[in-house]
Structure 1
Amino acid sequence: MPTTVQKARKAIAKKKGNITALHENSRDSQRLRRAQMRDDKLDRVAAARKKNDRPLMERAAYFQEAVRKNDGKPLQLDAIQSLIQTFVHQYDEEFNELKKKRRAGRPASTREDILRLKIATDEKEYENGFYLPDISLEENAIYLDRWEGDWSYLSTLKWVRISSNGTTTPSIFPPKGKS
């Protein structure tokens, strides 16, 4: 797909011919700069969106793997809860290892702080309602098994929040606050 800069360059070349030399503040050079700034902004926004979407993509991939291990069949609530437990505590070993490596009296490393926050956030979310695709439904398990990593496909799945006490509440995708 052509970028804005390429389109602007082509339009200017069509008008002027070869554009090897433009005056610094000419209309054409300003047009090229605006196009470049727009492309840079779009790249920044796309990178930020991808960074924000990554945790949900990783979560969906984790539960997709669990469905695939179960041959595309739905899972019972107790199996789902054990999967959630392993997902919440997936960083415990690395966290404990970093904690052991640290000398006494030294502050925690940045990675250790990040892991501590991630574990605490996931545990709190699990108490209030862990957000995941509903893999207790046959149709949803089939859809999740077919998923190829595309963000837009995740909206076809039904999502739920499962709390630590076993209550299941339907939710929407993408999550907007406490849905």
Structure 2
Amino acid sequence: MPKSLEKTRKRISKKKGDITVLHENSRDSQRLRRAQMRDDKLVRVAAARRKNDQPLLQRAAYFQEAIRNNGSLPLGWDAIKTLIHTFVHQYDEEFDALKKERRPGRPPSTREDLLRIKIATDLKEYENGFYLPDLTDVDNVVLLDRWEGAWSYLSTLKWVRISSDGVVHPAKFPPKGQS
């Protein structure tokens, strides 16, 4: 939580005493407004960052669950490809259900549009190189199993890109606009 407003308020109250008697356009009231706007901006930026980080957190949680179901052992390439295929096509049933319940001649709902875009993005990423933790490395599997949902911990993992052809490339975390 940003603290600049509290600090500014404390400084002004030490100097002036009661803050409620400030003139509307005084320097101190302008300082308070700037501090409030700065705090609001920090909250807004943090919320946007969390929203952007959410898909990678969900992806890591999905593969962590797969590792735990496997007994915290590394996976083979066939199992990894199956997991990727399942992850990419996880919204297909919901998309088809929304498509069927829509009356003929009606435009698609917002949820249907979002699912269509999500499915297309995941398929394209899978063709070019799907971004996931390296599930073949024993140390990486242990680290992924210990992960408790923190964003900062994900940078300790090894990440790879696996294309639909089976080509594996090492990758860095976080992906810099590549996924």
Mapping for residues 139-150 of structure 1, pairs under 5 Å? 139-150=139-150
User: What corresponds to 1:100 in structure 2?
Assistant: 100
Contact 2:8 2:32 in 1 (8 A): yes
What is the deviation of 1:57? 0.7
Residues 2 and 120 (structure 1), Cα distance of their counterparts in 2 relative to 1, 3 Å cut: closer
**Any idea what the Cα deviations from partners look like across 1:13-69, whole Å, max 9, x if unmatched?**
111122221100111101100000000010111111111111111101110111111
Matches of 2:120 and 2:15, distance apart in 1: 60
Residues 37 and 135 (structure 1), Cα distance of their counterparts in 2 relative to 1, 3 Å cut: same
Secondary structure in 2 aligned to 1:143?
helix
User: What corresponds to 1:134 in structure 2?
Assistant: 134
Mapping for residues 143-162 of structure 1, pairs under 5 Å? 143-162=143-162
Matches of 1:31 and 1:82, distance apart in 2: 57
Query: If the length of structure 1 is used for normalisation, what is the TM-score?
Result: 0.96
Report the AA paired with residue 130 of structure 2.
F
Query: If the length of structure 2 is used for normalisation, what is the TM-score?
Result: 0.96
Contact 2:2 2:43 in 1 (8 A): no
Matches of 1:14 and 1:176, distance apart in 2: 46
User: What corresponds to 2:164 in structure 1?
Assistant: 164
What is the deviation of 1:71? 1.6
Residue 60 (1) aligns with residue 42 (2): no
What is the deviation of 1:178? 4.2
Matches of 2:125 and 2:9, distance apart in 1: 50
- Identity of aligned pairs, percent? 73
What is the deviation of 1:177? 3.9
What is the deviation of 1:3? 1.0
User: What corresponds to 2:83 in structure 1?
Assistant: 83
Matches of 2:161 and 2:148, distance apart in 1: 23
Secondary structure in 1 aligned to 2:135?
coil
Computed over aligned residues only, the root mean square deviation of the Cα atoms, in angstroms, reads: 1.3
Report the AA paired with residue 40 of structure 1.
D
Secondary structure in 2 aligned to 1:165?
coil
Matches of 1:133 and 1:83, distance apart in 2: 12
